[in-house]
Amino acid sequence: MPFSLILSRALTALLTLIGVMVVVFVLVRVVPGDPIAMMIAPGASETDIAALRAVYGLDLPVWQQFTIWFGQVLGGDLGTSISMKQNVMTIIADRLPATIELALLALAIAVLLGGTIALVSTAWRGTWVESLIDNANGLLLAVPDFIWALTFVLVLGVLVPLLPISGRSDPTIDHGLATQFFVLEGLLRGKFAFVGDVLKHMVMPAFAIGLPLAAVIGRVLKNTMMDVMVQDYIVLARIKGLSNGRILLQEALRNAAVPALALTGVQFTFLIGGTVITERIFSYPGIGNLAIDAVINRDLPLIQGLVLTFGVIFIAVNMLVDALTAWLNPRLRHA
């Protein structure tokens, strides 16, 4: 990818991030509700309320509040949470690893399941197997993630209690980890029993989030592979005597993967945003669950910090996908 294109993408990302900051800052202040009124003690005087508003800078004009916050963000400070009385950056850093690990597991499930759907449908195209898989894929696509979450809680958590329905790990286990990346650090330190417990807590929310994405990947990848299967080089491969399995995996899948990769990257950013309701249902301690608490408490600094975090993730993932797509596609790589 040319340097000029990289510079252009980086500049666009910066402008997009600034736009996100402006929009979220204005929106959280025009929405009805006063965060100070929710945290002030009953019977507090107007003087006390005014003093508390001054502490959080809410007595200043909106443009001045934004200027101060923008300067803080440039310095790596997202402010102090009104409801939790902690540094916003610290709160998000403590919760973000949980959401990242959950989203990555959900993505792995979606890619494996979606890829399997596409391969089987293509291999059995024109038969009842393809029709059955298409109908099942339509069901996965039609049912939203929170419905899957509630169904899993009812079936696998209550009726047949096979998996834990809340939390991130067993609170009685002393893991002794230095970071909140439980799976990664647990594997590196050889704490396999603890990692297994964490994965047990992640299975249901990860499947709830990943199933709709698997349906999207499966449908797009199947359609792309169907187009590839009629190309001349596929016919040539058949003439050479290559088996159907080898043609599917080495020729069709490899050439159909680039559009599916671009879609998966875009959907991954929505997948992270989609963890909000699912994390709430499973009481999973990620930034999705934190976002709901921030909105309920009208915690303006925390809401701003979370939206900014989602924006950074969205931009970073899309830039990574663009780079991978250009690397995998020779026409884009040498453009």
Query: If 0-12 CB within 10 Å is exposed, 13-18 middle and 19+ buried, where does residue 39 land?
Result: middle
pLDDT at 3 over 80: no
Higher-scoring residue by pLDDT: 92, 23: 92
Question: Helices 3-30 and 62-74 sit at what angle, rounded to 10 degrees?
Answer: 140
Per this entry, what is the length of the chain? 335
Which stretch of 51-60, 145-154, 203-212 has the lowest confidence by average pLDDT? 51-60
Which stretch of 35-44, 59-68, 101-110, 205-214 has the lowest confidence by average pLDDT? 35-44
CB atoms within 10 A of CB 42: 4
* pLDDT tens digits for range 132-171: 988 888 888 888 888 999 999 999 999 999 999 999 998 8
Mean pLDDT of the chain: 83
**For residue 40, what pLDDT is reported?**
67
DSSP-derived secondary structure letter, 2: -
Helices (H) and strands (E) in the chain, counts: 16, 0
- The candidate with the shortest Cα–Cα distance to 309, out of 14, 106, 17, is 17
Query: Three-class SS string for 95-115?
Result: HHHHHHHHHHHHHHHHHHHHH
Alpha-carbon span 245 to 251, nearest angstrom: 10
- The candidate with the shortest Cα–Cα distance to 254, out of 277, 234, 268, 279, is 234
Residue 29 tokens read as: 């202040």
On the CB side of 228, CA atoms within 13 Å amount to 24
Residue 334 tokens read as: 């040498």
Burial 202-228 (b: 16+ CB within 10 A, else e): bbbbbbbbbbbbbbbbbbbbbbbbeeb
Alpha-carbon span 58 to 76, nearest angstrom: 21
**DSSP string of 129-189?**
HHHHHHHHHHHHHHS-HHHHHHHHIIIIIIIS--S--SSSS-TT-----SSS-HHHHHHHT
* pLDDT tens digits for range 271-330: 777 788 899 999 999 998 999 998 888 888 898 899 889 888 888 887 887 777 766 654
Alpha-carbon span 279 to 274, nearest angstrom: 9
Is residue 208 within 8 Å of residue 196, measured between CB atoms?
no
pLDDT bin (cut points 50, 70, 90) of residue 33 is low
Q: C-alpha angle with apex 201: 200 to 202, nearest 5 degrees?
A: 90
The model's pTM is 0.85
Is residue 210 within 8 Å of residue 106, measured between CB atoms?
yes
